[in-house]
A and B are shown apart, each in its own frame.
Chain A
Amino acid sequence: MKTIALFNTVGAFAENKDTARDIRVKEIIPALNGGEEVVLDFEKVDAATQSFIHALISDVIRKFGNDALDRISFKSCTPTVKKIIGIVVDYMQEGLGPE
């Protein structure tokens, strides 16, 4: 299992999409490709923008399908961060399908 502590790279307000992309490309996707489960640890992250969460996980859901959600856990999220993750996960699943 790979645990990614987000606060160290994104700070208390997670809004930098470039950082989100780096985490997705360099850490999340390689771990999932290697068969690992991933824990995204939001400890000390007070808030996040929808754009940040989208950049962090939308492509993972698109690449791995709904199964990605069985292999990724979101740890220590504030209620606000939980809701933003919920919005992104929902609209990605609603929209999965042909272009």
Chain B
Amino acid sequence: MSVLEVRNVGKRFGSLVALRDVSLTVARGELRAIIGPNGAGKTTFFNLISGLFRPSAGTIAFDGRDVTELPAHKRVALGMARTFQITEIFPELTVFENVRIGAEIASGYRLRPWISRAEKTEVDRRVHETLKLAGIDGKAHRLVGELAHGDQRAAEIAMALALRPHLLLLDEPTAGMGDQETYEITQLIRRLHRDSNFTIVLIEHDMRVVFHLADRISVLDQGSLLAEGTPQEIAANEAVQAAYLGKAA
């Protein structure tokens, strides 16, 4: 069964057409990469899926349910979590506190003026479990704002994981990172996909990362879907080479 089903989605900002008639289906457990040149509409597409904007046309279904008109926070409640190209975290809180907020929300405590000792212990356990999964348990009590960029990104992914999502949307997880950090984040995403079986959609510029991780790749160009297929198929696709890989080389 498909986790995400996007049908004929379009988005215009005034006279600018950012996306035109894009359709895409992501199966459960799949890792899908979305690539394309700058300005192809990748981030706009993510913003439509996650509910930051409404599409001008088309529908978005998540776990079989039409979410086209749902606001972002309700999509999160249904199990959709995302990260941003520029890391969005709570810089003045510790890593633990950053992740705890998501863990409490996932446990349904969002409006609670108190929690019992047992509930608190359970939340703490879950936060540490999530931090371990993201590989930053050792930095739990550091302020996120003081961490290196790669660790901040790992913390942001941990915040998303704390929500126990069915779908993880990662917008350029390795943006602005050096080789070592890129390698570590790539390994983290790989673990989440292979070992923990998360369904992941990611936007990525680094072709090594994309071809290393993705089950399937969708290529956007000038707001339209240019091609879709396995990494091998995409690498062999002439239209893609002309629009994207050719330009990069």
Are A and B subunits of one complex?
no
